[in-house]
């Protein structure tokens, strides 16, 4: 029997990639994957301080189909790791975002119940003229 919710979720994710994504470069060490379709989002974190308060932190998120995140000559599927980078070019500038999250939070999470899409949390670490 066909799982209609999963089929609908797959269709919706394909529509997101086709109509709401921009190409980015995913970088891990010396390896990089260019032209990865990613949708930009954000997550607001509230991290408790040791002084009875909390700090608000905002991450720039990239939603990427897990099946598209491959590295190496054998195109091995990988999951994001802190320290990986995502480079986005816009308006003649190259923006480099590092995979990370505040306060011991995970650097990524699944964005859907069928484990299709990664929501990767990042912070801007460098801006330079695009080459």
Q: What is the rounded radius of gyration, in angstroms, for the C-alpha atoms of the chain? A: 16
Put simply, whether the predicted model's pTM sits higher than 0.75 gets the answer yes
What does the pLDDT profile of the chain (131 residues) look like in tens digits?
788 999 999 999 999 999 999 999 999 999 999 999 999 999 888 777 777 777 777 889 999 999 999 988 888 899 999 999 999 999 999 999 999 988 788 999 999 999 999 999 999 999 999 98
Task: Tell me the DSSP string of 12-60.
Answer: HHHHHHHHH-EEEEEEETTEEEEEEEEEEEEEEEEEE-TTS-EEEEEEE
Q: Which residues face 69 on adjacent strands? A: none
């Amino acid at each position: 029997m066909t799982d209609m919710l999963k089929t609908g979720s797959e269709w919706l994710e394909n529509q997101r990639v086709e109509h709401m994504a921009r190409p980015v470069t995913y970088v891990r060490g010396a390896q990089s994957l260019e032209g990865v379709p990613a949708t930009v989002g954000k997550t607001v974190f509230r991290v408790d301080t040791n002084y009875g308060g909390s700090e608000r932190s905002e991450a720039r998120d990239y939603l990427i189909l897990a099946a598209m995140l491959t590295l190496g000559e054998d195109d091995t599927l990988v999951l994001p790791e802190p320290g990986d980078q995502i480079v986005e070019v816009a308006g003649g500038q190259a923006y480099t975002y590092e995979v990370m999250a505040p306060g011991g939070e995970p650097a990524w999470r699944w964005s859907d119940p069928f484990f299709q899409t990664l929501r990767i949390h990042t912070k801007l670490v460098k801006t330079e003229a695009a080459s």
